[in-house]
């Protein structure tokens, strides 16, 4: 009986030791951050819409770390040092898909050794220029222009442009209280587009709203946006 008890005690102690060793691994401490840019300017997106995948070989895992870019086109992860692959799947984002020489989705190789910032240059189909957003007399008004960036086989036509008004900091297709839009075919001057919409009654009452411009392209699910602005009235 004593022998059995002693064996169980040794077995339990060994199990606890292994568990402690497992728990004593260092936590990930390298910060990987970055942004989507075009010519140094941020690419603004819709909240929780445009996804990417981050892979690390080894450690018994083959699946990706999946996440989405922020509305400002940013990403952030706390990781272990090592080699990673970042992929933006085709069809994601209001920009031309990244490609490699084999015409496959481009893989961005990352050799992470401590904190690293990785800005990714992409080519939007069009970009929003000189967006002006104002609130007053019970309305939100906007003026802006659109500049075509992608050409040739990568070009996409403008399907629509929309002014989004929200009572929260996310002014987009998912969270809005008012919108005003125009079809791409009805735009007569891409350099001078105006949209305006009345501010509905807000409960509880607040004397401000948030607004942004979103543009959709033919055959592309994700919109490109202007920066969201808070407008006091």
- CATH number for the domain spanning 96: value is 2.60.40.1120
Are residues 68 and 98 located together in one domain of the fold?
yes
Of 71, 98, 121, the position where a domain reaches its end is 121
Q: Are residues 146 and 106 in the same domain?
A: no
Residue 224 lies in a domain: yes
Looking at the structure, tell me whether residues 93 and 130 fall in a common domain. Answer: no
Task: Count up the domains in the chain and report the number.
Answer: 2
Structural domain includes residue 50: yes
The pLDDT value recorded for residue 24 is: 54
Classify residue 12: in a domain, yes or no. no
The pLDDT, as a whole number, for residue 212 is: 98
The answer on 97 and 55 residing in a single domain is: yes
Residue 104 belongs to what domain range? 30-121
Residue 4 forms part of a structural domain:
no
* pLDDT given at position 187: 98
Tokens of residue 50, six digits: 């445009």
Q: What was the pLDDT predicted at 5?
A: 39
Where is the domain boundary, 102, 121, 140? 121
Last residue of a domain, one of 121, 155, 185: 121
pTM, rounded to two decimals: 0.84
Residues 53 and 79 in one domain: yes
Q: Is residue 133 part of a domain?
A: yes
Question: d(Cα 225, Cα 127) in Å, to the nearest integer?
Answer: 8
Q: Are residues 194 and 176 in the same domain?
A: yes
Task: Please report the pLDDT score of residue 188 as a whole number.
Answer: 97
In sequence order, which residues have a C-beta less than 8 Å from that of residue 70 and are 6 or more positions away? Answer: 45, 47
DSSP 3-state helix, strand, coil percentages of the chain (rounded to 5)?
Answer: 10, 45, 40
CA separation (Å) from 16 to 24, 32, 96? Answer: 12, 34, 53
Q: Are 184 and 206 members of one domain?
A: yes
| 132: β partners | 143
Tell me, what's the pLDDT at 58?
Answer: 61
Say yes or no: 162 and 97 in one domain.
no
How far apart CA 47 and CA 225 sit, in angstroms, is 11
Task: Print pLDDT tens along the chain (233 aa).
Answer: 444 434 334 343 444 444 444 455 567 889 999 999 999 999 999 999 999 999 986 655 567 888 999 999 999 999 999 999 999 988 899 999 886 544 555 778 899 999 999 999 999 999 999 999 999 999 999 999 999 999 999 999 999 999 999 999 999 999 999 999 999 999 999 999 999 999 999 999 999 999 999 999 999 999 999 999 999 99
């Amino acid at each position: 009986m004593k022998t059995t008890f002693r064996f169980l005690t040794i077995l339990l102690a060994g199990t606890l030791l292994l568990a402690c060793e497992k728990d004593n691994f260092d936590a990930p401490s390298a910060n990987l951050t970055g942004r989507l840019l075009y010519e140094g300017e941020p690419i603004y997106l819709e909240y929780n819409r445009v996804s990417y995948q981050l892979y690390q070989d080894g450690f018994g895992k083959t699946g990706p770390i999946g996440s989405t870019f922020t509305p400002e086109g940013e990403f952030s992860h706390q990781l272990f040092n090592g080699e990673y692959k970042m992929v933006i799947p085709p069809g994601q984002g209001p920009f031309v898909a990244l490609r490699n020489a084999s015409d496959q989705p481009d893989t961005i190789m990352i050799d992470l050794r401590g904190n690293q910032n990785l800005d990714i240059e992409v080519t939007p189909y069009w970009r929003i220029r000189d967006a002006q957003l104002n609130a007053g007399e019970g309305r939100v008004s906007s003026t802006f222009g659109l500049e075509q960036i992608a050409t040739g086989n990568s070009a996409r036509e403008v399907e629509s442009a929309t002014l989004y008004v929200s009572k929260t900091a996310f002014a987009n297709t998912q969270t809005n209280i008012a919108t005003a839009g125009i079809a791409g075919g009805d735009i007569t001057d891409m350099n001078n587009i105006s949209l305006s919409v009345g501010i509905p009654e807000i409960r509880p009452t607040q004397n401000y709203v948030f607004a942004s411009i979103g543009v959709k392209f033919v055959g592309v699910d994700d919109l490109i946006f202007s920066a969201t602005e808070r407008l006091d009235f």
